[in-house]
Structure 1
């Protein structure tokens, strides 16, 4: 086991992609143990890592995002939000958050929203007189709503790993996502008073009606997803297929901005992004099998219980572990590695697996904007043309607000479980 741990840490420090890290370190363990019969079972474990129906939702939701980008849906969402709330002081900053809420109800990816909104909102806010560092920090922190407000790729992956209902995870993310959005808006309000942010003229009723009619077809997508899941008409995976169909109809037939010649590129991007996640899952299947073979989850569980069997202390330790992990490993690989180890301990302490999943998902999502390895940070700096150090420093109050909301969600389970319990 020592050889596997050393190989894992060394490869991680060398910047090797996490899928290769898990695969190579697992093979190193088999060689070091001289138990070569394990190689006969390894291919089966790799295949089992991706043999789950819930994973089918991932390429479908990625496909939805690609269709939205090319179909003119995003720009209409921004225009509608600006017409409705742009007249408040700091209105464009509120528009940034509101648009991310809309996009989160369709895309489910923080990195996708960071890339999309950094191209659109940061230049628009700069033009209105906002500082680039604040605009970039607000954009990247608002993009955290992507994996929290359903549908969410992170929730799908957690549901697959933990065998928890993905539908319940979707329902559980609604209030925490709104809570985080409110926290960011309060921060904007404080900053708008201190910095005297600009505001635009109040839109007329006619302009509001025109903007709403323009964006209404796009709003059908999240409505179909939520109503379909809540009513039981289709599963979370089937909702992704329905959303993809509606996104295509809206972009091609209604807005007429989606062109058939763009479909090959859209499908290629979808396939590439899906292949990355699938490869990570297959290598995680091998790595998890090796860890289970060595009884690592059992030893970690015994260690944590020996520290304290108090759920409050455990949740505090959990958030600390996840915070440190999220600084160095992306959310999805970290979840694949840690959830099989930590979830059994949480359940033994009486913590609901849905509540546990929300805590893990939000904590690791915040890791996307914490240095040194926050992928959303790299996306924002490369697109926005801002230094990493400057952006990281400006993000400090946003990170503080995000973790404050996380602590509230951690120790008030009813915030997470209210809606899932209402729908049985």
Structure 2
């Protein structure tokens, strides 16, 4: 796999021959367009930070809430997500699988890469008109606080799609061979003709269309190197456009809903916070102290990664944001100590799944709200299962690193450890500052990242005396780009989830699971399998909202304690969400770590095996979940 969707070096062995003047024009247009988008994206992210921080200060310091701050932040966020997706397309940072493509000959790989670019362009061409229609429909809606048309926010979708389309066309002209482009255009024309004439036939296939589009089209797209989010969206557009009479702007609305979820506002802010921690020297101070404690132990820093994900999990309400806050701090030092990139990203993804039930998890809150379960009971129930899975992962880490060469590892004296602890104390306090802000109600899960940013800036300026102002602009652009790649996948997956629900798949699934033999344990076994598969294509919140009200009454009738069932369901979805090749969370971990997804495929097998073993243990022993209720 690779996270380079449109890499010129991979796209073609021989660039398209063109006159020098048109090529110069293309380069000039490309550079000018991207420079403009970078400036806008960086400004939006900086303004996002200021607005959200101002909301916190006004509410809790000045006791005069800014009623419009969350609304403005939401408007800015959709624009930030779409412009970030444009930059991700230009940089080749949309996640895609290249395990099969990389094995082809250079000539064939060039053709397949051209095909992937063309598929992305085709999706964007399909998206623009429905996105414009959706934005036009939003024009009649007035926002409650700012009293402006919601079209100002919704226009981010068609404009972002148009910019991505332009970037895609430029890349196609710059890196693809002329004969490959001609062949791809012929294939596209043939497919278009087939779709036009086969539309009535698809409408007679019923549920078989689910297999054709959500298994066949998605699999073909992913394995031929089409970016993951684009593959999801192409399948959704194809299913709804050919087999139903659903207006395609509805798909855009679901994408908007997926990308605009309030919790996801924390993603770009935590990505930026991770970059800020590294730049201010807080990461170095923290790593030096942690290394003094466990650096001489086999797999020591891997234990730190597992513990850190357990401690900070749920602070932001987004697993992507949690990983973004930790990976930039630990990974550089772990790489220096000899850890492979593949093992690091595999462990990061696995710890993301392991800590899904740690409060204050937004998934726990959601499952409580849609099923009527006590949220405090869910919070209590989620701690021990997460600890059990963490201990099992630690065993795997110990086994993998048991023969690690520690001859060069330094052992620190108590005095040295104490000195490093004092130096690192301001950095180590950051997770506790963030968690205290959430627990004490000083800030929401969305706003708390801005507190971390403000705290890190002050510590960098006043304590560590290290703050490189010239790097801020590039850090803002990098954070926006990474966030755009992640959020576009989530938006496309949300639209796909909605299409699956509208097809009646969820009701059929509930009936099938309810008829399974085996009593409580049989129902739990089927639930684990089903929710692992669902988790690979759905975010936790959409899946819980869709399937929770249907399946929890069945669990009660089967004799399964509802709180215990909630924990099993969440952990099962976590396993699916972070498992390649379809798990979106795995690609998010790779994007945050800036690691080729191919590198983590082999190492993650052992970690996921241990995680599944822990999941089965939690499912088989209800006391682990409900023993302290």
Shared fold, TM over 0.5: yes
**Bigger relative CO (Cα 8 Å, ≥ 6 apart):** 1
- For Structure 1 versus Structure 2, the TM-score category normalised by the shorter chain is 0.7 to 0.9
1-structure distance, mates of 2:593, 2:625:
33
Provide the aligned C-alpha RMSD in A. 4.4
Partner of 2:291: 82
The aligned runs of 1:336-347 (5 Å cut-off) are 338-347=543-552
Q: 1:180-221: per-residue Cα shift (whole Å, max 9, x none)?
A: 333333345556666785584542222111111121111222
2-structure distance, mates of 1:408, 1:64:
36
Query: Are 2:392 and 1:180 aligned?
Result: no
Q: CA distance change for structure 1 residues 305 and 383 in 2, over 3 Å: closer, same or farther?
A: closer
Partner of 2:139: none
2-structure distance, mates of 1:86, 1:306:
52
2-structure distance, mates of 1:47, 1:167:
31
Question: Which structure is larger by alpha-carbon Rg, 1 or 2?
Answer: 2
Unaligned residue ranges in structure 2 (runs of 5+): 1-205, 314-318, 557-561
The aligned runs of 1:206-245 (5 Å cut-off) are 206-245=415-454
Q: TM-score, length-normalised on structure 1? A: 0.74
User: Secondary structure of the residue that 1:236 maps to in structure 2?
Assistant: coil
The aligned runs of 1:165-314 (5 Å cut-off) are 174-189=383-398, 198=407, 200=409, 202-308=411-517, 310-314=519-523
Query: Are 2:615 and 1:403 aligned?
Result: no
Q: TM-score, length-normalised on structure 2? A: 0.53
* 1:141 aligned residue (344, 347, 364): 347
1-structure distance, mates of 2:582, 2:499:
30
Tell me if the contact between 1:370 and 1:377 (Cα under 8 Å) persists in the aligned partners: no
2-structure distance, mates of 1:222, 1:171:
20
User: Secondary structure of the residue that 1:258 maps to in structure 2?
Assistant: coil
Q: 1:118-162: per-residue Cα shift (whole Å, max 9, x none)?
A: 5431331x3xxxxx66x9536732563346548999954786698
Q: 1:217-239: per-residue Cα shift (whole Å, max 9, x none)?
A: 11222102222333344332232
2-structure distance, mates of 1:73, 1:196:
28
1-structure distance, mates of 2:620, 2:485:
35
Query: Are 2:335 and 1:122 aligned?
Result: yes
Partner of 1:26: 236
Larger helix share, 1 or 2: 1
2-structure distance, mates of 1:314, 1:140:
30
Partner of 1:9: 215
2-structure distance, mates of 1:46, 1:394:
33
User: Secondary structure of the residue that 2:446 maps to in structure 1?
Assistant: helix
State the 1:81 CA deviation. Answer: 1.4
State the 1:289 CA deviation. Answer: 3.5
1-structure distance, mates of 2:300, 2:579:
23
State the 1:363 CA deviation. Answer: 1.2
Q: CA distance change for structure 1 residues 145 and 289 in 2, over 3 Å: closer, same or farther?
A: closer
State the 1:267 CA deviation. Answer: 1.8
Q: 1:24-72: per-residue Cα shift (whole Å, max 9, x none)?
A: 3333233324525x34645444434445433323333223222223232
Tell me if the contact between 2:532 and 2:577 (Cα under 8 Å) persists in the aligned partners: no
